[in-house]
């Protein structure tokens, strides 16, 4: 578990041009006092009202396709300095599916070391139950503060089997577990109530997008477990696009893939949402997020590949995606550069108001 006490330096980005490496920054300091290991209660408390976006870093590869830990460390460190409230290492955006257990452990350990206790680090854990347990234990050994439990591999399981699977993952380590609902892991409200009753399971991340189901889930847990601190996350790709709707359901948290390559835009959106600045929220949705989502929809796997291309556009060579994903078309990368430039301009306009 991570222990930290002292000062946190937060770096806020401004006037960063596409093609330049995260330059022109101003630094401020925030005093935080921590002196105890992160356990379930502190982790939940730290994620309940995050000070910034939730950061899902990409995994960096070298020219030979092998893991590039130096670049990965730089990516994580810059994200923390840019205002991330938590690091979710080796999850969907981090190509969990493409990593060996050894690479996974090395990345989680690097994320923990670069975060240095300033923010919690959670790691992905998935595949079948036995492998998910193995990844959970590797994450614990690497110093992670929590787990994002990914859907099981391939199979379509019933509700009882799914609940048993996640209970076994939660029982394998003392790490708090957030269950990821998407694809072949879709829960009834009754099953989520059972998960919320499970020791170690502290939240649900929704990557399905069924708002009716999410409303019934939130209602069921609230009714059956009044006062329970259970976290809900919007985990759709480019979650900012739908966060106004999710927030209305009682889902205040969301993942931000955009933060990987445009932290200044993601931070501005997060701040505007938190402060009720609807003008800025709508301006960024209309001028940046919607065009980005529409571009992302033009290629399979772009939820990862386009994000990685964005990080490269900003001057950090994190390499290409691993197969079976493929790189975005050249014209789409050019469009992405224009969208980022437009987003930066919108942030600057807002700062000048």
* Residues catalogued as catalytic: 180, 205
**In angstroms, rounded to a whole number, what is the distance separating the alpha carbons of residues 172 and 164?**
12
Tell me the two tokens of residue 57: 């870093």
**In angstroms, rounded to a whole number, what is the distance separating the alpha carbons of residues 4 and 145?**
13
Residue 53: strand, helix, or coil: coil
Specify the DSSP class assigned to residue 37: -
**In angstroms, rounded to a whole number, what is the distance separating the alpha carbons of residues 252 and 230?**
12
**In angstroms, rounded to a whole number, what is the distance separating the alpha carbons of residues 177 and 166?**
9
Beta strands 121-125 and 86-89, pairing class: parallel
| DSSP character string of 121-178 | EEEEE-SSHHHHHHHHHHHHHTT-SEEEEPPPSS----HHHHHHHHHHHHHHSSS-EE
């Amino acid at each position: 578990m991570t222990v930290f006490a002292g000062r946190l330096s937060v770096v806020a980005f401004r006037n960063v041009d596409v093609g330049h490496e995260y330059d022109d920054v101003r630094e401020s300091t925030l005093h935080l006092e921590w002196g105890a290991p992160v356990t379930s209660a502190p982790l939940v408390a730290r994620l309940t009202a995050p000070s910034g976006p939730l950061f899902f870093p990409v995994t960096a590869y070298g020219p030979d396709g092998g893991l590039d830990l130096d670049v990965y460390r730089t990516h994580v460190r810059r994200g923390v300095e840019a205002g991330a409230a938590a690091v979710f290492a080796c999850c969907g955006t981090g190509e969990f599916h493409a990593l060996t257990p050894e690479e996974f452990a090395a990345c989680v350990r690097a994320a923990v070391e670069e975060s240095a206790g300033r923010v919690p680090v959670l790691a992905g854990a998935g595949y079948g139950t036995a492998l998910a347990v193995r990844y959970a234990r590797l994450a614990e050994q690497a110093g992670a503060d929590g787990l994002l439990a990914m859907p099981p591999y391939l199979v379509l399981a019933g509700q009882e089997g799914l609940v048993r699977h996640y209970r076994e993952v939660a029982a394998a380590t003392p790490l708090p577990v957030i269950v990821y609902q998407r694809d072949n892991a879709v829960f009834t409200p009754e099953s989520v109530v059972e998960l919320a009753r499970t020791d170690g399971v502290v939240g649900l991340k929704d990557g399905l997008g069924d708002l009716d189901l999410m409303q019934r889930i939130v209602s069921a847990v609230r009714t059956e477990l009044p006062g329970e601190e259970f976290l809900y996350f919007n985990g759709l790709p480019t979650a900012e696009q739908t966060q106004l709707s999710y927030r209305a359901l009682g889902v205040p948290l969301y993942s931000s893939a955009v933060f990987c390559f445009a932290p200044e835009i993601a931070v501005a959106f997060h701040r505007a949402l938190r402060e009720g600045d609807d003008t800025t929220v709508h301006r960024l949705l209309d001028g940046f997020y919607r065009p980005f989502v529409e571009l992302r929809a033009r290629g399979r796997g772009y939820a990862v590949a386009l994000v990685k291309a964005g990080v490269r556009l900003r001057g950090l060579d994190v390499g290409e995606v691993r197969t079976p994903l493929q790189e975005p078309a050249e014209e789409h990368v050019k469009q992405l550069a224009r969208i980022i430039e437009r987003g930066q301009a919108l942030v600057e306009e807002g700062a000048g108001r």
